[in-house]
Structure 1
């Protein structure tokens, strides 16, 4: 558990929407640009495992590769969340954090993690392709953003579309980093 404490503290500092002193956490989005979540979001179709193929650098994921997020429907309409990543290398030790996501509006979730019960963070699904194979997620503050895919490798056309969605929502896509994934 003591190895998880720095991870949880970094998570608390970086993923929350609690105002922090200027310069403390990088912001990757021009917050003067309106941000919008997907109107026709279907939590049941969103359930399952997503591979993080690209993200903006955040302290709580520093050194993470092979990152996945798995969602499962809960009886109350929420979703359980299990995030996994490998530390440093695709064969490195696994970090795991569990929580839940509450649907708070169309394409809008509030995520809390069991290990950090006092913290919740808005998680907006900005876009999902028609087949629910690729998703773009952001946060209104612009402190984080992700491109997720159902498979470890994403086709070039869907990656380009995902980057366009981030750009449209004010994100500086030049700061986006590719996340190494192993073969499925």
Structure 2
């Protein structure tokens, strides 16, 4: 039987107890749900990114136009914030579940979870279970204050820190 120095055993024991850093924007273990009442046809049209987390917030409000090309399918064009600043994009998107949309991006497909849309489809909260992103979309570049507060409440409920949300 091989003997290990007590200091090595102690270090290994401490490493085993260490937690992996959470790089996502959501609280680890927090529940998250997509909207089962999501209506793809009502989602079509012009949207503005009016609040986001992290680097995605670096360019301010950017527009996206969602054109429905078939049942649950869209062509999405607009601007996004990337490593070199604001740039244009064009991609396809499709509904893959209740309140869940798969959309192509420069880094591969991403699945957007529609966490909430107000009854009149003026504001939408988009997130992801792994916390890679969280964003608020609005039909206008300047949404009403009560709708933004509701969006923050939805983000909090789904494990995001609303204080870290950057609104434009």
When normalised by structure 2's length, the TM-score is 0.79
User: Aligned equivalents of 2:118 and 2:72: distance in 1?
Assistant: 22
Alignment equivalent of 1:121, drawn from 110, 113, 123: 110
Query: What are structure 2's unaligned runs of at least 5 residues?
Result: 1-19
Structure 2 counterpart of 1:99, from 91, 98, 114: 91
Q: 1:103–1:66: structure 2 CA closer, same or farther, 3 Å change rule?
A: same
Q: 1:86 to 1:27 in 2, by over 3 A?
A: closer
Structure 1 CA distance for aligned equivalents of residues 148 and 30 of structure 2:
22
Q: Which residue of 1 aligns with 2:29?
A: 32
Deviation for aligned residue 1:62: 6.0
Runs of 4+ in 1 over 2 A off after TM superposition: none
Q: CA RMSD in A?
A: 2.1
Partner of 1:147: 136
User: What's the CA shift string for 1:75-112, capped at 9, x where partnerless?
Assistant: 3531111131489xxxxx85101111110111001111
User: Out of 41, 54, 61, which is 1:57 matched to?
Assistant: 54
Correspondence 1:177 to 2:152: no
Change (3 A) 1:127 1:70: same
Aligned to 1:110: 102
TM-score after normalising by structure 1: 0.73
The answer as to whether partners of 1:65 and 1:85 remain within 8 angstroms in 2 is: no
Return closer, same or farther for 1:101/1:30 CA change in 2, 3 Å cut-off.
same
State the distance in 2 between where 1:35 and 1:83 align: 28
Q: Decide whether the 8 Å contact of 2:80 with 2:89 is kept in 1.
A: no
Pick which of 138-147 and 26-35 moved more.
26-35
Q: Does 1:45 align with 2:37?
A: no
CA distance in 2, matches of 1:62, 1:35: 22
1:77 aligns with 2:72: yes
Larger Rg: 2
Secondary structure of the structure 1 residue equivalent to 2:61: strand
Q: Is the 8 A contact 2:50 2:60 kept in 1?
A: no
Alignment length, in residue pairs?
Answer: 147
